[in-house]
Amino acid sequence: MKKLYYIGITLLALASCSKPNSQESLTNYVDPLIGSGGHGHVFVGASVPFGMVQLGPTSINQTWDWCSGYHQDEASVIGFSHTHLSGTGIGDLFDVTVMPVTGEVTYARGTIEEPESGLWSMADRTQEIAEVGYYAVPLTRYGIKAEMTATARVGMHRYTFPKADDAAIVIDLQNGGCWDRATETFMQAEGDSRIVGYRRSRGWAADQHVYFVAELSKPFSSFTLHGPNQMYGRASFSTTEGEELLIKVAISPVSMDGARLAMQSELPGWDFEATRQNARLTWEKELQRIRIESQSNTLKRVFYTAMFHSMMAPALFSDVDGKYRGADGNIYQSSTPRYTNFSLWDTYRAKQPLMTIIQPERAGLFVASMIDICDRQGDLPVWHLWGNETNCMVGDPGIPVVADAIVKGIKGFDREHAFEAIKKTAANLERGKQYRHNYGYIPCNLMNEAVAYDMEYALADGAAAQAAKALGRTADYEHFTRMSHSYRTYFDRETGFIRGVDDKGAFRTPFNPYYAAHRADDYCEGNAWQYTWLVPHDIEEYATLFGGREACIAHLDSLFLAPSTIEGDPSPDISGMIGQFAHGNEPSHHILYLYTMLGEPQKTAKWVREVMKTQYRDAPDGLSGNEDMGQMSAWYIMSALGLYEVEPASGRYWFGSPIIDRAELTVEGGTFTIEVIGGSEENTHIQSMQLNGQPYALPYIMHDDIARGGTLTIVMGR
């Protein structure tokens, strides 16, 4: 028998996993509904950390705030889909949707205005249960209670039916995300309790393949195909009052055989409660990687929900036997798991650095997956979705992640191969880099969002330079350092802002720093106020452009004092405003820590505390912007601990203002403990520190100091 050398997070792997008796259960603090209202866009449903399956409700509504398939403002359900995205600004996936029904139905999505149209039902949110690894809600149209849990590659459903002679499970292969359209589907019964098939679709992901095997705990009396192109399969049966029906759905990006193997390996039995408990234990194990102490249960709920959200992605993308679909569409095999769903423009800032601390093994696997993507498609991923490059967002955000892992010595990939992937990506003269090659910057009259693209490229070049330095590549270090200064072309000494410059070297006029236009501007999801500060990799030299550190700080101060008005046609992503600082979107996330870098940590402490207090809450609208696959949450986790990696690939974390009393981080070398003495709402500023019992005076701490384990003692005061 062929060896199954990677099973993922399965029941087999969980046989040895048990809750630590001496430790508090951290899953009790997780509220999956935080961020499910407002603009949070978080996934609500059943999953395990970094799993392929995210099983949960999908709504009729496909507008912006329903990108995850769920929102607090409207409770329609067209079914329970096995793939979702969490916190994105674009909707996709929602593959292999299962809907329990009774009676005759119309095989279509339906509309809210027509209560009997399609398959959909309203969900009774007053009886909803959302927990780690488990979701339940009654469907009012059919009188059916829906429950679900999951392993890494298998979703398990339990439906409690009323008495009905015309009950059914419907598998919907037509409906996906708002842009997603099925291009090829197949579905058939195997015997009287198994259904197999696949769905191929085009949307945000250009060519998406999802294969499935579904097994029912009760034989069906008939299986029939319905709807346009027969994309709905109805498995019919009769039920008694209160009868429970189970269905298991395994998925694979490779083949139906891959889905079968997942079912055999991860969920061969029918014990729903054991599967639910194992999912909870899996989450408990991962949450225990940071154990905090605080007198505030509210803080714990926000913190551990943030931990939960930070581990929704990247998603597993290889089968149990190691087969996976490469970025070129071909099938390959790997001895280690492969991942997809890399929202890198968002997550290079805090999410991926967090992973290097508490998930170093997975961080290495993520980078190995990114290098493999580069090998198949020619450059590192930008926004890779279910094996497809979307090229969504600006710059080369894969470079900072790979460079960061090189600098920190993360294991699990070849560092020299990784650096060659960085060089290949940077040298690819597409997406505006051809203009940087010709002009030394991207002229604003030759490309939309020119400033945003170039600033992100410059930041990536700065990260690449640090990787080159770590590898002893002097010529590459000098080259990338020089390229990382391209942002200087855009700096206007007269106004103190970064502005668009045309191919003649002239600033774009007229100029209004408050102006933003969604996808039709020099910036991307922002304006001159925010992008003026996207220079974390060169802040000391940048300050000289303002005329010195004091002038630079004065201009930074004005960011928080300016009116919060955004003029023009702004992206809805520009949210969470404090003056013109926009915490609801990623380009602002590092800005507060620039004060510490410039020698005024008291201002970092002030504003970091303000953001943690006002823009993160234990409520459905508790996030001030899109979760963005874990970035919003990772910012909070790092900031609550008092640390933030401002310069990608620097290997150092700048201090802010910790709000926990104590934290124990599971790191590569054992445990890194942060002890906070005297912290309170009044005592927000660091007075002194000790590292392993010795006085510590630097305004940052190196990754190696954290990774090897030890104790950082922080004394707080006014």
Residue-by-residue DSSP string for 492-527: ETTTTEE--B-TTSPBPSS--TTEEETTSSSSSSS-
The predicted pLDDT at position 113 comes to: 87
Are β-strands 331-333 and 662-667 bridged in parallel, bridged antiparallel, or unpaired? unpaired
Please tell me whether residue 148 adopts helix, strand or coil conformation: strand
Q: Which positions ≥6 away from 565 have C-beta within 8 Å?
A: 514
DSSP state of 301: H
Strand partners for 457: none
Residue percentage of the chain with pLDDT more than 70: 97
Q: Which of 670, 672, 667, 642 is nearest to 656 (CA)?
A: 642
Q: What length does the chain have?
A: 718
Q: Cis omega (within 30 of 0) on the bond before 400?
A: no
Spatial contact of 528 and 499, defined as CB atoms under 8 Å apart: yes
* Helices 398-408/450-470 angle, 10° precision: 20
The predicted pLDDT at position 223 comes to: 98
Tokens at 36, concatenated? 């499910």
The predicted pLDDT at position 519 comes to: 73
- Helices and strands in the chain: count of H runs, count of E runs: 19, 38
Spatial contact of 560 and 553, defined as CB atoms under 8 Å apart: no
The predicted pLDDT at position 179 comes to: 82
Task: Return the CATH number of the domain spanning residue range 292-717.
Answer: 3.30.2080.10
Are β-strands 339-340 and 567-569 bridged in parallel, bridged antiparallel, or unpaired? unpaired
DSSP state of 83: -
Q: Which of 446, 417, 344 is nearest to 437 (CA)?
A: 446
**Which of the residues in the chain have pLDDT under 50?**
1-21
DSSP state of 446: T
Spatial contact of 266 and 154, defined as CB atoms under 8 Å apart: yes
| CA–CA dist 497, 69 (Å, integer) | 39
The predicted pLDDT at position 610 comes to: 98
| CA–CA dist 654, 284 (Å, integer) | 29
DSSP state of 573: T
The predicted pLDDT at position 177 comes to: 81
Structural domain boundaries in the chain: 11-288, 292-717
Q: Which CATH code, of 3.30.930.10, 3.20.20.140, 2.70.98.10, 2.40.30.110, is assigned to 11-288?
A: 2.70.98.10
Q: Which of 240, 234, 213, 239 is nearest to 222 (CA)?
A: 234
Please tell me whether residue 196 adopts helix, strand or coil conformation: strand
| pLDDT tens-digit readout, 221-258 | 999 999 999 999 999 999 999 999 999 999 999 999 99
